[in-house]
Amino acid sequence: MTATRIDGKAFAAALRERVGSHALDFASKAGRKPGLAVVLVGEDPASQVYVRSKGKATVAANMESFEHLLPAETTQTDLVALVEKLNADPSVDGILVQLPLPGHLDEKAVIAAINPDKDVDGITPTNAGRLVLGMDAHISCTPLGCLLMLREIYDDLSGLDAVVVGRSILFGKPMAQLLLAENCTVTMAHSRTRNLPDLLRRADIVVAAVGVPNLIRGEWLKRGAVILDGGINRLEPAPGASKGRLVGDVAFDEAVGHVRAITPVPGGVGATTIAVLLRNTLVAAHRNAGLAVPEGI
Ligand code: GUN
C-alpha cells in the first residue's frame, strides 16, 4: 500500500484564498480591513523568519499587518502596556505574541493580558477554558489546521483511536481537546510515557509534536493509520553541506509504505499554521465588528 502524502502547502493555499476573498467582503461591510498585530521580542532568527512570513501572508490575504519588533531587553511592564494598547485599538482584531519570550519575561502573565476576543492563538486562559468546556473559542492554529486536514480525510472521526504525542500548550493539549470533541478516544503521550510503540500500534490517528527527530518508527504504526507530523527538527549537516535536513518526529520513509496518509516535513502540518492564523483573524474581525462569521471557513 502506498500512503497518500497529505499536501499541507496545497491545503494552506486553498484556505488563504478563501480567507482573502472573505476579507474583501469584510472590508466592504466594515469599512476597514481585518487587522493582525504580531509582537516579537528579541532577535531569535527562526522567530524573525516566522514573523516576516506572517506579515507578508497577512497583506496578501487583504488584511492589515501591524508588526511590533521590540528589543530583547524590553521590560514586562512595557510589553504588557503594548498588549493593552493593542487590546484597546479598534483596528486590531487579532494579537499574536511570538513565543518563546526571552527568559526574563513572565510569559504566562503576558499571555493572560491579551483580550480573549483578539487571542487568535487560542492561548489565553479564557480560550483554553472555553475549548475544554465545548464553548466557541479561538483555537491554536497548528492543531486547528490538523483538525481541518483530518476532516478532509474522514467524514466522521467518532470512535477512532487517536494518540497525541506531546503536551505543549500551543499544540498537544489543544489537539487532544479538539479530537475529544470529535468523539475520538484520545490518548496523550509525552516524554515520560512508557511503551509508546504499544500505544501507537492501535492508533487510527497519530498526531506528533515533540521535537525528537524520527522518534516514531514506521513499524510502530497501524496499517491504514493517518499520521500528522508537527515536528520540525533540523539534523546535523551532511559533510560539505551548510545546513542539515529538516525532518519530523516520524520516520517518514519507513511510515509512508505502511499508513493510509501522512504529512511530510517540510510541506505538511507546518505549512498550514499561518493560513489558519489568517482564518482565525478573519473570524475575530467579524465577531469584533458584530458581523456574522462566514460559513465553512
Ligand atoms: N512560536 C512558534 N509557533 C508559534 C505560534 O503558533 N504562536 C506563537 N504565539 N508563538 C509561536
Which atom of ligand 1 has the smallest separation from the CA of 277?
6
Considering the candidates 54, 118, 173, 222, report the single residue annotated as catalytic. 54
Cα-based distances in Å from 108 to 80, 93, 263: 11, 21, 31
Please compute the mean of the pLDDT values over residues 170-196 and round it to a whole number: 97
Interval 206-264: pLDDT, tens: 999 999 999 999 999 999 999 999 999 999 999 999 999 999 999 999 999 889 999 99
> What is the best residue among 170, 175, 273 to mutate for testing ligand 1's pocket, by most ligand atoms within 8 Å of CB?
170
Q: What is the mean pLDDT of the chain?
A: 97
Q: Which long-range contacts (CB under 8 A, 24 or more apart) does 153-158 make?
A: 153/6, 153/226, 153/260, 153/261, 154/226, 157/182, 157/183, 157/184, 157/205, 158/182, 158/183, 158/184
Q: How confident is the model at residue 40 (pLDDT cuts 50, 70, 90)?
A: very high
CATH number of 30-116: 3.40.50.10860
pLDDT at 2 over 90: no
Please compute the mean of the pLDDT values over residues 18-26 and round it to a whole number: 98
Ligand 1 proximity of 97 Cβ (cutoff 6 Å)? yes
Domain boundaries, the chain: 30-116, 141-272
Q: How confident is the model at residue 25 (pLDDT cuts 50, 70, 90)?
A: very high
Provide the grid cell at 95: 494579537
> What is the best residue among 53, 97, 98, 101 to mutate for testing ligand 1's pocket, by most ligand atoms within 8 Å of CB?
98
Please compute the mean of the pLDDT values over residues 22-51 and round it to a whole number: 97
Interval 99-153: pLDDT, tens: 999 999 999 999 999 999 999 999 999 999 999 999 999 999 999 999 999 999 9
pLDDT at 1 over 70: no
List CB contacts of 136: < 8 A, sequence separation 6 or more.
130
pLDDT reported for residue 3: 66
Report d(CA 62, CA 40) in Å as an integer.
22
Ligand 1 proximity of 121 Cβ (cutoff 6 Å)? yes
Classified by CATH at the fold level, domain 141-272 comes out as Rossmann fold (3.40.50)
